[in-house]
A and B are shown apart, each in its own frame.
Chain A
């Protein structure tokens, strides 16, 4: 039974009785599902990732742009303010002769006018080429102070203009100094020095109205804060920031930092001053619109993947189930075809053999009969009784042979099935009746167990008689003298009636049990044809029923024939 159909069938059959998908289909399912999922989800994931990084990039660009704009606008304002102070001082000085300037009074008038018009000036001083502050108006006592040895003095002398770092000055407020060299025609030069309130520049930063993630401040090249910083501390604190390389243009650098911060730094060097204007924007990643977009994306991905997963799993489950059922149907069909072919071949062979044997058998029968007649009727035949005895044995053997050919033909024959309602109990009792003489002779007890009379089955009487004759014959052959045979008729389901024939005979070994329905299998040695049970099963199947056997060596055997109540299509 090692044909492909059976092997396939074996693979298809659920193992251990539970309805799990057998391995070949599991592998197919796994491969197919994985392949589909990968081809469906990978592009989706890639698209989502691209979208994610595009969003991130957009936010980054936006952040850079904001910072860049603040930096460049503020730079222009700061430069303008300082330049304005510079220009107005130059105008004041240029429009007057040195003599007109050369008194504290006139200087005071200038300071007053400047503050009235522009504001922010704290003091004014004129320093001669030797570094002596010859005139001074302001809150400090700086008249006659000599600046000759100070670095800024040399710078002014050398370059013509100077802007100082911020320092704590009058009323402990931050200030810075601007100074420039003024030529007195051919009569050398002097230096005008003015202290300016840092509030002037601070105001520009305040008016930016920065949010809490953004910090703007001025720092000098020694990393000392020139204005207060929201992130880094008060004025004149030294800050631990790497000062970027000098640039006249706005520079923006961005990077991730710890704690999920997206940090954008913008800076610019304010021209002709030691100041560097910086804007630092530390934007948390769960910030505002990005967070919304990101969670939208995650939801989108999650829902899409779930839908794909559900669709793929469902469709594959359906497909594999369909495939499996189709394969099972095909295997069953192949099996049936094979079985039918096998039976047909055996049947033709059996019929041929039976017919071929039958004629010589008829001759033997007649010759032996003649011998018996001749010997029996002759008055003076020598060894008369012995000859008659021999003839009888031959006739008995012929009869046995004849039974064999009869069965072979019965096996081969596909008789038309005639259906009629049949009371199984009555039919089985009739069949048992054939064996009555053997039963009483061997003291075999046959007992019927019928709890409730089942409905009649629509079936073929002759064929059913053959079925039960075979089974009951086997039971009689199996039991010893004084044996016991139980026949039970029941209705296990509303659609079926079952007849079980149990004997307490010698039983059938496990090995024999497997082959018991195969044609030409016999345990009766030369006495059996090996066709009885094969024919029986064939008939039962054709009548739409099933036949089962249970047996235990030494305990007995039970045959159960189940027949449909209604006619099968």
Chain B
């Protein structure tokens, strides 16, 4: 199953290249150039994994993360941090991010983490689905 990934970063050159590489590795990738845009996009459709840059103008990564999780707490968000920003990475994880990766990132490492996140996402979806189905069963009295 093809994982659907949303890349959020204000550097279009970066997202373009990374998206192309991820697509070459079999992912379905869309990009957003700011936090508000990304928030709009996650309301349009479901993404298995969101790769979110920490430093962005307008709305920074942590703020965007909080709003995304407020919208859907099951979202799998991977944070991209600058080098040495372990503290910020940790803060992001505390705020609900799945993990963080330092920029410039090794593509294979990123792919690995995306895959893990996708697995979790799928599991969560299945659980949710099971739950929904059982809810429906209960309502119908089956």
Which residues of A are in contact with B by a Cβ distance under 8 Å? 354-355, 358-359, 361-367, 369-370, 373-374, 377, 398, 402, 405-406, 409-410, 413
A549 → chain B closest CB, angstroms: 26
Size of the chain B interface, CB-CB below 8 angstroms:
17
The reply to whether A370 and B83 form a contact with Cβ atoms under 8 Å apart is no
Q: Are B84 and A409 in touch, CB under 8 angstroms? A: yes
Distance A355 CA – B85 CA, assembled complex (angstroms): 10
CB pair A370–B20 under 8 Å, yes or no, is yes
Say whether B14 contacts A363, CB under 8 Å.
yes
- A358-B103, A358-B104, A402-B104 given as contacts; is B82 within 8 A of A366 (CB)? no
Complex interface: chain A residues within 8 A of B105 (CB): 362, 365
Residues on B with C-beta less than 8 A from A365 are 104-105
A406 CA / B85 CA spacing, docked (Å):
9
Question: Which B residues lie within 8 Å of A355 (CB)?
Answer: 55, 82
Q: 8 tightest A-B contacts by CB?
A: A409-B84, A366-B17, A365-B104, A362-B104, A362-B103, A370-B17, A363-B14, A406-B83
Contact (Cβ within 8 A) B11 A363: yes
A366, B83: Cα distance in complex, Å:
16
Q: How far is the CA of A228 from the CA of B107 in the complex (A)?
A: 139
A-side contacts of B18, CB under 8 Å: 366, 370
Q: Which of A370, A374, A398, A410 contacts B104 (CB 8 A)?
A: A398
Chain B 5-42 interface 0/1 with A at a Cβ cutoff of 8 Å (1 = within): 00000010110011011001000000000000000000
What residues of chain B lie closer than 8 Å to A410, measured between beta carbons?
84
Given A366-B18, A370-B20, A413-B84, decide whether A361 and B104 contact each other with a Cβ distance below 8 A.
Answer: yes
Cβ contact within 8 Å between B14 and A358: no
* Interface of A (DSSP majority class): helix
Minimum CB–CB distance for B19 against chain A, Å: 9
Taking a contact as CB atoms under 8 Å apart, the answer to whether B24 and A373 are in contact is: yes
Whether A366 lies near B104 (C-beta < 8 A) is: yes
Residues of A within 8 A of B85 (CB): 409
The verdict on A358 contacting B82 (CB below 8 Å), with A370-B20, A373-B20, A373-B21 known, is yes
Report B-chain residues with C-beta under 8 Å of the C-beta of A370.
17-18, 20-21, 24
On whether A359 and B83 interact (CB within 8 A), knowing A369-B21, A373-B20, A373-B21, the answer reads no
Residues in B with CB closer than 8 Å to A367 are 13, 17
Closest partner residue, chain B, to A371 (CB atom): B17
In the complex, A373 Cα to B111 Cα: how many Å?
Answer: 14
**B interface residues (Cβ-Cβ under 8 A, vs A):** 11, 13-14, 17-18, 20-21, 24, 55, 82-85, 103-105, 107
Show 5 A/B contacts (Cβ-Cβ < 8 Å), sorted by A: A358-B104, A359-B14, A359-B103, A362-B11, A377-B24
Within 8 Å by CB of A359, from B11, B24, B107, lies B11
Cβ of B107 and Cβ of A354 under 8 Å apart?
Answer: no
Q: How far is the CB of B133 from chain A (nearest CB, A)?
A: 41
Chain A residue nearest to B14 in the complex (CB): A363
Bound CA–CA A413/B87 (angstroms): 10
In the complex formed, the residue of B with least CB distance to A404 is B83
- Having A363-B14, A366-B13, A370-B24, one finds 13 other A-B pairs with CB under 8 Å, namely A354-B82, A363-B13, A363-B17, A365-B105, A366-B14, A366-B17, A366-B21, A369-B21, A369-B107, A370-B17, A373-B24, A405-B83, A405-B84
> Residue on A with the closest CB to B15?
A366
With a CB–CB cut-off of 8 A, which chain B residues contact A405?
83-84
CB distance from A349 to the nearest CB of B (A): 15
In Å, the complex CA distance between A374 and B16 comes to: 14
Q: How far is the CB of B85 from chain A (nearest CB, A)?
A: 8
Cα A406 to Cα B102 with chains together (Å): 10
Q: Pick the most buried of A363, A377, A409, A410: most chain B CB atoms within 10 A of its CB.
A: A363
The CA-CA distance from A551 to B2 in the complex, in Å, is 60
For the complex, what is the distance from the CA of A359 to the CA of B17, rounded to whole Å?
13
Q: Which residues of A contact B14 (CB under 8 A)?
A: 359, 362-363, 366
Residues of B within 8 A of A358 (CB): 82-83, 103-104
- How far is it, in angstroms, between the C-alpha of A367 and the C-alpha of B19 when the chains are bound? 10
Query: Contacts A363-B11, A363-B14, A370-B20: A354 and B84 contacting too (C-beta < 8 A)?
Result: yes
Q: Which residues of B contact A369 (CB under 8 A)?
A: 17, 21, 107
Residue of B nearest to A462 (CB): B86
A8 to B20 CA separation, bound complex (whole angstroms): 63
**Nearest opposing residue in chain A for B103, CB measure:** A362
Q: Whole-angstrom distance from the CB of A346 to the nearest CB of chain B?
A: 15
Assembled-state Cα–Cα distance A151/B103 (Å): 148
Task: Provide the residues of chain A in CB contact with B11, threshold 8 Å.
Answer: 359, 362-363
CA distance A359 to B107 in the complex (A): 16
Asked whether, in the complex, the Cβ of B83 is within 8 Å of the Cβ of A354, the reply is yes
B84 to A, closest residue via Cβ: A409
In whole Å, how far is B11's beta carbon from the nearest beta carbon of chain A? 6
